[in-house]
Amino acid sequence: MGAQEQDPETVSRTSSRRRVPQVNDYKLRRQSQEKQDRETQQDRLSERRQREQQSQYGDNNPACVPPASMSIRPPAKPVRTISVSTPSGESKRVKENEGDEDRDARRSKNDVGWRRVVRNFSPSWFSVTMGTGIVANLLEGMPYNAAWIHWLSIVFFALNTVLFSLAFLTSIVRYTLYPEIWGVMIRDPINSLFLGTIPMGFATLIEMWVLVCVPAWGPWAATFAWVLWMIDTVVAAAVTLSLSVLVMMQTHELKSLERFTAAQLLPIAATIVAAGTGARVAEILPDPQWALGTVMTSYVLWAMGTPMAFVVIAMYFQRLAVHKMPPREVIVSCFLPLGPLGFGGFGIMYLGKVSRTVFPLTDTLDPTAGSVAYVLGFFVALIMWGFGLVWFFIALVSMWQARPFPFNMGWWGFTFPLGVFATSTIQIGVEMPSAFFKVLGQVFSVAVILLWCLVAARTARGAWSGKLFFAPCLANLKKDGEDEGIGGGGEAERVSAAA
């Protein structure tokens, strides 16, 4: 017998019941897909905001990362209570994320007011004293000078003294109140390089003391300058030797040559600047034996830094040849090779000039040794000046291709390298003598002064708004196994971690 015929209404109800689960499954899948799309859109929006922050403040320069207060932070966790057992065996209700609230309180306390300024006062701020100091030296030593320019150089000298004193005292307060920052700053492969700016900024003060105070105050001022130079020499040698070793020990931080920057020259240039300053000091010392010891020590300092600087410059040129120009946030670093080339040439030339006077007075080596040192020093300086001219052209082309680029503390890389290159140019014009080099040195000097005005104005505005007070190394601070998140990172990964 065939299958019994079913009622059409019964068949309709049965098929409807079969379709209901299918419709419900389709709705659930659709809702799940819409939820995933919304989450993906939110993630993309968050990444875009982070990229906008990085493009605004820069992400490769150690002094161009926004503070944690300006970065994107995750929402606070909901407060829940849980039951725990006390040592006496009783039960007690406590907040599950009470520790998170304490950490948020500590973070907010250290991220506002004077504490934020002190905690985020990185060594890169001493580059301000370098730039201001070289302007004072150029105003005092310009070949075509005037009386009012001399007084203007004294004003810059006084301003630089105040700036260096404030920076030094703030650094002392920073590492006294927060000693844990010193360790993470030293281990940071980028931020620690800026320790070289401290002895270089101090050296500009010593040079102005020699040029202005010694002629006015006499022998005791010369002796005082000698003592200051010895302190600067010890610090510069310690920075060059220790940071060079630390950079080699931390090679795991530099996974690619593409991340190699000219900032590696900063600790090396410290001894080169100390050598050139030593030549100035030796010239005004009353005792020839003191002058001889200063000259010989300066030659050693010059030899410690200059060959190593050539090695780093060669590596940096390879980086540019293989990976092209650096990001526009750090494009100003292309001017940094002018520093050791410019002041290295000035130092060896001035040491030869002083040796020509000191060696005969102390019967050092052969009677003609001083003249030989002077001639060799001049031609070595001329060769280094020519090599610096190549890097000056490379820096100009790089900036032209990268324009426009955002402001950050790296802009102080304009002033000091170009300033010491101008100093070398002026000294070559004096020794030859050559009107061409004197005029060119005058042009370079005026350009440096105008650049200082621009960079100083932007720095003052950024410091007043608080945007420039942050230290990349603070991203490495950890409390209870978590990042403090007080500062930003020098690289994109650190920005994400702080956020």
Mean pLDDT by runs of 10 across the 499 residues of the chain is 50 52 62 74 68 47 41 46 44 48 54 80 92 96 92 96 96 91 84 92 97 94 97 96 74 65 91 97 95 97 96 92 80 90 97 96 91 97 97 90 80 91 96 94 96 93 82 64 38 33
Which of 209, 365, 349 is CA-nearest to residue 275? 349
Q: C-alpha distances in angstroms, 417 versus 94, 413, 414, 423, 495?
A: 59, 7, 6, 10, 29
Measured CA to CA, the distance from residue 34 to residue 72 in angstroms comes to: 25
How wide is the angle at C-alpha 285 spanned by C-alphas 284 and 287, nearest 5°?
145
Angle of helix 219-249 versus helix 197-208 axis, rounded to 10: 160
Buried residues in 435-455 as b, exposed as e (16+ CB within 10 A): eebbebbbebbeebbebbeeb
Measured CA to CA, the distance from residue 424 to residue 444 in angstroms comes to: 11
Measured CA to CA, the distance from residue 344 to residue 333 in angstroms comes to: 18
Q: Are β-strands 91-95 and 478-479 bridged in parallel, bridged antiparallel, or unpaired?
A: unpaired
Burial of 14 (0-12, 13-18, 19+ CB in 10 A): exposed
Q: C-alpha distances in angstroms, 460 versus 195, 452, 455, 463?
A: 22, 12, 9, 5
Measured CA to CA, the distance from residue 176 to residue 437 in angstroms comes to: 48
Reduce the secondary structure of 172-234 to three states and give it as a string. HHHHHHCCHHHHHHHHCCCHHHHHHHHHHHHHHHHHHHHHHHHHHHCHHHHHHHHHHHHHHHH
**Which pLDDT value is given to residue 60?**
41
Q: Is the CB of residue 335 less than 8 Å from the CB of residue 328?
A: no
- Pair of tokens at residue 487: 């500062």
**Which pLDDT value is given to residue 65?**
41
How wide is the angle at C-alpha 497 spanned by C-alphas 475 and 44, nearest 5°?
150
Reduce the secondary structure of 401-452 to three states and give it as a string. HHCCCCCCHHHHHCHHHHHHHHHHHHHHHHHCCCHHHHHHHHHHHHHHHHHH
Q: Which domains does the chain have, with CATH numbers?
A: 121-468 (1.50.10.150)
**Terminal C-alpha separation, the chain:** 77
Measured CA to CA, the distance from residue 18 to residue 21 in angstroms comes to: 6
Q: Is the CB of residue 336 less than 8 Å from the CB of residue 266?
A: yes
Measured CA to CA, the distance from residue 468 to residue 487 in angstroms comes to: 11
Q: Is the CB of residue 346 less than 8 Å from the CB of residue 420?
A: yes
Q: Is the CB of residue 129 less than 8 Å from the CB of residue 208?
A: no
Taking CB atoms within 8 Å and a gap of at least 24, the contacts of 43-50 are 46/72, 50/495, 50/496, 50/499
- Pair of tokens at residue 330: 């750090």
**Which pLDDT value is given to residue 89?**
42
Q: Is the CB of residue 335 less than 8 Å from the CB of residue 418?
A: yes
Measured CA to CA, the distance from residue 43 to residue 46 in angstroms comes to: 5
pTM here is 0.75
**Which pLDDT value is given to residue 337?**
94
Q: What are phi and psi of 469, to 5 degrees?
A: -95, 90
Enter the DSSP assignment of 76: P
Which of 135, 172, 142 is CA-nearest to residue 156? 135
Measured CA to CA, the distance from residue 168 to residue 246 in angstroms comes to: 23
